Chain A
């Protein structure tokens, strides 16, 4: 019903149409944020995001375990939703129009799914480089995704990169021991950067080739995301770094 009244939705699929969500390619992660930010993880109300997982006490029965940082148009989340139907996952995106699109896309998918799928994914608009600790408790996450992040070529702008030695400290804080961090890019220079940051960090170790081969998520990094599909279309190369958070005592 609802979809008919909205001109921005495709009549055939019932999904929102991307052309009506014109987005900027970049957003400055350094600028002051003017959207609401939860005071602490205890203040985040995930019941509105996952209504099917809400119990009698008004809280969700589980905590979010996967975070897709800079989820873009949400391709990976949507693939993961059916692969891990019992796991709650959240996309975090800074650009407001993109977040709006993903939100509508998930709601539309929930409406059109006959098997009640996609109830386990949602999206928030936030600056994850600044506010990760406001959303997740220590060791709450088991997977974090950083797919095709902004490359920031200029040396002056390296500190805007979403993977850096210091930001990895915060990611290691919200990831539990054994949790996995997935990164991929089509920019060789950034790929090297992300890999070397992870290699240098004492709380991460690389996955072995066998582990990579047996992890069903690894192949989605390229195939499920809009950016990955674009790279494949143009016959480009991708550079991947997948690391495990290890137990650590300094």
Chain B
């Protein structure tokens, strides 16, 4: 205990590195990028930067944003993070409609498919729910407090999502666990009925995404983890349908490197609409792995690997609508005079090719707004990727101590003294 306290104390002195995040509007009206406490949005219809208007009671983001998301309907957008604020925005007017103050730092957010509830998870494993009565008319609501919905016992919840049919809320945590809970009719009274637990991962969960089609609205769940696998689940019974190991893929590709890493972290997954494909971003891999999911045979396999040529670009967050949008970057980089750095790249989902900066929707105007500048130096990019990797493992991996060290720290404990 003592030692971990000291280590935590040290971490708090220097600012924590937060990865850059990206979220694109479901019908590609706009795209949002966060770096640290900065939320930048670009209008893809009008082809211009958007100025955010915040008249809600409550302060603006002043610490790293850890989760952003567009609602499935495209009307709402939510941002939340280390400053314990959850901000709900209109995705049309980009006015802040409500600011919810959380007691703890927020790690994940989700919007119900009918836009009537926002759920957010805190660093202590509690999921909270806020009712959005009348927010659909674009009204600014008085400051609200969340009601506790469910809890993972003292574990960081890394992702939160509603099932496509809205029946379940799914929460993934650092203790290798995915919990599927029936989303109740009266969520403010708590969600008590657990449908299943999806257990099989052997490291922390990092991302979840539903694969679904119009016939199969309930859908299947894909999850990515620090154990270098993506897994496919049937959430009604929690059974593991297939496991796809991505570490070998990455190892083979980087044949010039010495030893391929034994374990890689899947940092983000998103499913491509109207297809059985999903894109996965993998830590320390310069590109995207496309996974194909056969919902009748219950299999998951790698279909294509898209390498990003040239510069060092390792996606930290990805989002999809007509195109696959990727961002790489971080805030609070140690030992650098860059407060935050981000680089946006786009892949066409039809041709699976990486677009040049001039070809992307919004062009260099978009890049200038979302990146802060058109060109980003490569050395900074690789430093950012490394910093994000380190920050993620120190946040989510269990600290390992040698047996001797652990015994040494227990030396004064009563039960260790011998009475013989």
Contacts and interface: CB of A to CB of B under 8 A. Distances in A.
B194 A169 contact: yes
A158 B18 CA distance: 31
A117 interface: no
Interface stretch (B150-158, B206-214, B270-278): B150-158
B419 A22 contact: yes
B192 A172 contact: yes
A202 interface: yes
B202 A22 contact: no
A168 B151 CA distance: 10
A19 B399 CA distance: 33
Contacts of B420: 7, 20
B194 A22 contact: no
B361 interface: no
A30 B151 contact: no
Interface stretch (A73-81, A128-136, A215-223): A128-136
A159 B69 CA distance: 30
Interface in B158-212: 175-177, 179, 181-182, 184-185, 190-194, 196-197, 199-202
A130 B175 contact: yes
Interface residues of A, number: 38
Contacts of A172: 192-194
A166 B200 CA distance: 23
A203 B192 contact: yes
A38 to B, nearest CB: 9
B411 interface: no
A166 B150 contact: yes
Contacts of A168: 192
Interface in B5-37: none
Nearest to A133: B197
A138 B197 CA distance: 9
Contact of A250 (B176, B182, B414): B182
B199 A130 contact: no
A23 interface: yes
A24 B415 CA distance: 6
Interface residues of B, number: 39
A22 B154 contact: no
Given A22-B414, A22-B419, A133-B177, A173 B194 contact: yes
Contacts of B185: 250
A76 B388 CA distance: 50
Q: Give the secondary structure class of B's interface.
A: loop
Contacts of A21: 415
Contacts of B154: 29-30, 129-130, 159
Contacts of B401: 34
B394 to A, nearest CB: 13
A160 to B, nearest CB: 9
B148 interface: yes
A138 B196 contact: yes
Contacts of B202: 39
A130 B419 contact: no
Contact of A134 (B192, B199, B415): B199
17 contacts: A23-B415, A29-B154, A34-B401, A39-B199, A41-B199, A133-B179, A138-B238, A166-B126, A166-B151, A168-B192, A169-B150, A169-B181, A169-B191, A169-B192, A172-B193, A172-B194, A248-B193
Contacts of B196: 138
Contacts of A28: 1
Given A23-B415, A24-B414, A32-B399, A39 B200 contact: yes
